[in-house]
Amino acid sequence: MPFIQGTSGNPSGKPIGTPNKTSRQLRHAIIDYLTANFDNMIIDAGKLTPKERCRMYIDLMQYGLPRLSNVQLDANPSENKPIIIDWVSE
């Protein structure tokens, strides 16, 4: 029986977006390691140059903050309408 695109040998298989077991285990292992060694990381960060410390901070931010997406503003300057920007605070 040939494979037909869009069908599966297991139609009630893993739902879309479910992380695989290995990724979940690795993520938990990394979190456990970082938690256990947090004090040493703070001490080691103090020994870095300001440039290295900044790079480390930027690299670690991706794990604590959601990624932002680009925003595109489509405006026609010939319409001469004002552009109003509202700042929303949480």
> Which run of H or of E encompasses 34?
helix 21-36
What is the band of 8 on the pLDDT scale with cuts at 50, 70, 90? Answer: low
Q: What is the pLDDT of residues 28-86, one digit of tens each?
A: 888 888 889 889 988 998 999 999 999 988 888 877 777 777 777 776 666 777 777 77
| pLDDT tens digits along 57-69 | 888 887 777 777 7
Write the CB contacts of 34 (distance below 8 Å, at least 6 apart in sequence).
41
- Answer yes or no: is pLDDT of 90 > 70: no
In a domain, 33, yes or no: yes
Tally the domains of the chain: 1
Residue 53 lies in a domain: yes
* Domain enclosing residue 53, as ranges: 21-64
49 located within any domain: yes
The pTM score is: 0.43
The answer to whether position 45 is within a domain reads yes
Is residue 70 in some structural domain? Answer: no
Q: Is residue 31 part of a domain?
A: yes
Any domain includes 7: no
Whether residue 72 lies inside any domain: the answer is no
Tokens for 88? 């929303």
Buried b (16+ CB within 10 A) or exposed e, 40-74: eeeeeeeeeeeeeeeeeeeeeeeeeeeeeeeeeee
